[in-house]
Structure 1
Amino acid sequence: MDDILILALFFAQGAGRPGATRRIVLGQYLGFAAILAVAVTAAFGATFLPESAVPYLGLLPLALGLRAAWQAWKDHGDDSEDEEEPAARGGPSPLEVAAVTFANGGDNIGVYVPVFATAGVSGMTVYAAVFLVLVAVWCFAGRFFATRPVIAKALARWGHILLPLVLITIGMLILVEGGAFGL
């Protein structure tokens, strides 16, 4: 459910901005493709990401959340558009969405690896295809929630505060639950 909330916040952040939906969907696919690539590779026995490194993926949403909080604080009370920040004008970049998607889904790798390892190549292909179709459904759901009038109004009013809070919280949860830095 946290991914739906993050997607809705990203879609709200990009609302009314040309190309924002495309960038968010592209970022979601890039992040999920990276998760699949790591899981498939690990299923074949050559892991790119040691299990002990997974908790440190929490640093990605934490850093993005702190950056978003800094930007919101800096822009507080400033109604003018920042000409030097194209991402602020056009919503989140695909790489920002991909980084959050990968970090937030990093724990899924631990679930996917044994399933992929026992499924064989044809099974992995089917799983990957189904997952990629479901990413589109997930993106549609996130955009759907972000465009409901009541939710859209709340996100327009509070999204600049909610996005950093959600990203920081997710980053901290990943770090703490994974035992990063001895937490």
Structure 2
Amino acid sequence: MQHRHTLAAVAAGILLTAGIGATMPAGAANAPTLSTTTPTTALVVNARWGGHATFDRLVIDVRGAMPPVTVHQTRALYYDGSGERVPLAGKHFLEIKLSPAAAHDDSGRSVYKGPRLVKIYLPTLKGVALTGDFEGVVTIGAAFDTKPVYKTFRLHSPERFVVDIAHTMGCRS
């Protein structure tokens, strides 16, 4: 009787192993591992801006695959985690959230080289702040004196998220 239980256990193990092996793609055992240059979580590494004849542009640089991004207008900006108000001058604000993303590496060192809080003198864009790098969400805020009319899009190689904010004035030097 003991011999039958052992035989049944061995047979079950063989079938289980064969079943698992059948679901693995061909060559999976020899599949390359992820390169150390390709982060598993998108890394937000910079935010930059520029003025153009009919719009101001905010660009967020990302290392790795672009995560989902949400942009919404808000009455004020607050730092994630602490809840303290962000001291950017303006009457209107955009909150840009990238998730899942981080502005730090696995060791906790910042990879974000952009501004933490900066006043800007463009026709529409008046300030930018990194407002959060908390629990897999990176948040960047933008400040305006007037309600922003904007469009967003993504650019690739390298990965970038772009916000174009319309204005009717020409660029200032």
* Shorter-normalised TM range: under 0.3
From the two aligned structures, give the one with the greater helix fraction.
1
* Larger radius of gyration between Structure 1 and Structure 2: 2
From the two aligned structures, give the one with the greater strand fraction.
2
- Larger RCO of the pair (alpha carbons < 8 Å, separation 6+): 1
TM-score (norm 2): 0.22
TM-score (norm 1): 0.21
